Amino acid sequence: MTSTTAPSRGRRVALLGLAILHGPPPNVVWLRLRNVATVDIATVILDHNETIEQFATDEDEALLVLSAI
């Protein structure tokens, strides 16, 4: 997978299936971004800060997919 492609639905389902079968891995935050500057990545993370914090404390979730606003 390159940085210009979004994760396929099948790949997201596979990650979720593995998390259900074996228990969640460390929480994964998947950034759905094209080839962007580091400052753009930081902006997405900061814009979703509250969502990321809630995700980090949720024991039932294993994968959070974020994209640019």
Inside any domain, residue 59: yes
Greater pLDDT, 31 or 27: 31
Inside any domain, residue 4: no
pLDDT of 2 over the 50 cut: no
The count of domains in the chain is 1
Inside any domain, residue 46: yes
Contact 28, 64 (CB under 8 A): yes
pLDDT of 1 over the 80 cut: no
Containing structural domain, residue 31: 9-67
Neighbouring residues of 35: CB distance < 8 A, sequence distance ≥ 6: 3, 4
Greater pLDDT, 29 or 11: 29
Inside any domain, residue 2: no
Inside any domain, residue 60: yes
Q: Mean of the pLDDT values across residues 11-21?
A: 82
